[in-house]
């Protein structure tokens, strides 16, 4: 393999590898942020859509469905997204799903056009768009963790996995910032321009996950991918050997009997229980619902500060502690 890939200048090689990893992590993160604006968009748009003089008026029951149907799509969408991630590859799944989410935002903008309002029933169309947004956003849950972790060294994977909450908070914070400044129709065009489009452009410049390529028996491509994101040829060759060993172990041990046996071992059972517990507590704390209705909560409680800026301050504190959590 060494004859096929001559060693480049050391410092240039190291800097290009670091840049490749940064571009991958940031681009994937921007796509993740865009996916979570799908939920945060309700915080931005509902105060405008529920006013009687709105060009697109939603009564309270419709507003409730508009806000929460994307969350309801989370479970089926995440299950399908996990399968698609393994079938297509995490990078490719993000590249395919992101433009579709851009189109759904464009569709939201077009719904407010007078010609559309006159010829099409708006509420069913809105629900179709929001259901589609919820599913597509959920498709991105798996690759948003898998891609950054699989392009990084093992020592950084825990940190990069915990960055997910940073990208999630940024999605909501972006919507809070826009809510008091621009209309929901303008935001529907601006959000993809800030998140998905830069993310897509960045992902086009970086390779697919080397681990995924290896699992698909595309060893030469996996080697090439690693060359672009590792600091030395020795590190690449070592990781290729490790992936081969792991693949052989998985092939030998991939049986229900062995998996059940692993669950009964304390070394495996305790981390699994803790992971499920943390994930369950994160869901049942109601963050998603509170984040969606946060401006309205501040308005109803009668805080002296503007409800939108109160939401921005709250989101900023959450972002700060997300970063603290990543560092510790």
The percent of residues in the chain predicted with pLDDT above 90, rounded, is 30
pLDDT score of 285: 73
Residue with tokens 């670091």: 18
Band (pLDDT 50/70/90 cuts) for residue 6 is very low
- Between the alpha carbon of residue 203 and those of residues 101, 122, 221, the distances in Å are 16, 35, 17
- By the 8 A CB rule, do 218 and 208 touch? no
Q: Using CA atoms, how far apart are residues 102 and 221, in angstroms rounded to an integer?
A: 30
Across the chain, mean pLDDT equals: 82
Whether the predicted pLDDT of 65 surpasses 80: yes
- By the 8 A CB rule, do 104 and 192 touch? no
∠ CA 16-20-22, rounded to 5°: 115
Of 205, 159, 199, 225, the closest CA to residue 28 belongs to 199
The answer to which of 11-25, 46-60, 81-95 has the lowest mean pLDDT is 11-25
Q: What is the pLDDT of residues 102-156, one digit of tens each?
A: 999 999 988 877 766 666 678 888 999 999 999 999 999 999 988 888 888 777 7
- Print the SS3 string covering the chain: CCCCCCCCCHHHHHHHHHHHHHHHHHHHHHHHHHHHHHHHHHHHHHHHHCCCCCCCCCCHHHHHHHHHHHHHCHHHHHHHHHHHHHHHCHHHHHHHHHHHHHHHHHHHHHHCCHHHHHHCCHHHHHHHHHHHHHHHHHHCHHHHHHHHHHHCCHHHHHHHHHCHHHHHHHHHHHHHHHHCCCCHHHHHHHHHHHCHHHHHHHHCCCCCCHHHHHHCCCHHHHHHHHHHHCCCHHHHHHHHHHHHHHHHHHHHHCCHHHHHHHHCCHHHHHHHHHHHHHHHHHHHCCHHHHHHHHHHHHHHHCCCCCHHHHHHHHHHHHHHHHHHHHHC
Top-level CATH class of 10-206+317-327? mainly alpha
Whether the predicted pLDDT of 261 surpasses 70: no
Highest mean pLDDT among 7-16, 114-123, 152-161, 276-285: 152-161
Q: Using CA atoms, how far apart are residues 319 and 315, in angstroms rounded to an integer?
A: 6
Tokens coding 65: 């469905």
Of 105, 102, 94, the closest CA to residue 27 belongs to 94
pLDDT score of 119: 63
- By the 8 A CB rule, do 50 and 271 touch? no
- By the 8 A CB rule, do 137 and 70 touch? yes
pLDDT score of 51: 84
Domains of the chain: which residue ranges?
10-206+317-327
């Amino acid at each position: 393999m060494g004859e096929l890939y001559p060693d480049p200048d050391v410092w240039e090689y190291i800097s290009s590898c670091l840049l490749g990893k940064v571009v991958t992590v940031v681009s994937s993160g921007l796509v993740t942020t865009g996916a979570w604006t799908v939920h945060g968009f309700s915080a931005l748009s509902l105060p405008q859509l529920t006013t009687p003089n709105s060009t697109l008026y939603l009564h309270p029951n419709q507003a409730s469905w508009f806000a929460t149907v994307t969350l309801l799509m989370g479970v089926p969408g995440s299950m399908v997204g996990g399968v698609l991630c393994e079938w297509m590859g995490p990078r490719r799944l993000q590249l395919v799903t992101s433009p579709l989410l851009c189109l759904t935002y464009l569709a939201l903008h077009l719904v407010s056009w007078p010609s559309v309002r006159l010829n099409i029933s708006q509420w069913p169309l809105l629900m179709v768009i929001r259901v589609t947004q919820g599913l597509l956003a959920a498709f991105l849950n798996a690759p948003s963790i898998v891609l950054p972790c699989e392009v990084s060294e093992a020592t950084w994977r825990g940190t990069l996995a915990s960055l997910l909450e940073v990208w999630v908070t940024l999605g909501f914070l972006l919507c809070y910032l826009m809510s008091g400044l621009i209309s929901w129709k303008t935001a529907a065009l601006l959000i993809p321009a800030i998140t998905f489009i830069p993310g897509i452009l960045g992902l086009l410049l970086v390779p697919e996950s080397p681990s995924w390529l290896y699992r698909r028996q595309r060893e030469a491509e996996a080697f090439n991918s690693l060359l672009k994101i590792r600091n030395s040829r020795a590190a690449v060759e070592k990781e290729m050997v490790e992936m081969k060993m792991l693949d052989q172990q998985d092939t030998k041990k991939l049986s229900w009997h062995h998996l059940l046996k692993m669950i009964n071992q304390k070394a495996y059972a305790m981390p699994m229980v803790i992971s499920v517990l943390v994930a369950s507590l994160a869901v049942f704390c109601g963050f998603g619902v509170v984040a969606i209705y946060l401006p309205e909560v501040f308005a109803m409680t009668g805080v002296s500060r503007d409800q939108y800026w109160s939401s921005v301050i709250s989101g900023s504190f959450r972002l700060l502690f997300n970063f603290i959590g990543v560092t510790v």
